[in-house]
Amino acid sequence: MFEVHRSIKRFRADPAWEYQRRPQAPWAEFDRRGYPFTLESGRSHLRDLVRGQLAGYQVVLAHQVVPPCGANRGGHLYSFSLAVLELPRALPATAVTCRRLAETWQIDRHQALPPGAGRAQPLPGGGPGARVRRTGADPAFAELLVTEEVKRLTLAADCGWRLEGNRLIGWTDGRRTYEALSALALRLADLVAAFPPAVWEWTG
Over residues 41-99, the pLDDT tens digits come to 666 789 999 999 999 999 999 999 866 555 444 444 578 999 999 999 999 999 999 99
Q: What is the mean pLDDT of residues 160-172?
A: 97
pLDDT at 82: 97
Over residues 168-179, the pLDDT tens digits come to 999 999 999 999
- Mean pLDDT is lowest, of 28-32, 54-58, 133-137, for 28-32
CA dist., res. 125 & res. 66, Å (int): 30
Q: What is the DSSP letter of 11?
A: H
Q: 9: domain range?
A: 2-201
Full 3-state SS string of the chain:
CHHHHHHHHHHHHCCCCEEECCCCCHHHCCCCCCCCHHHCCCCCEEEEEEEEEECCEEEEEEEEEECCCCHHHCCCCEEEEEEEEECCCCCCCEEEEEHHHHHHCCHHHCCCCCHHHCCCEECCCCCCCCCEEEEECCHHHHHHHCCHHHHHHHHHHCCEEEEECCEEEEEEECCCCHHHHHHHHHHHHHHHHCCCHHHHHCCC
Domain count across the chain:
1
Tell me the average pLDDT of the chain.
88
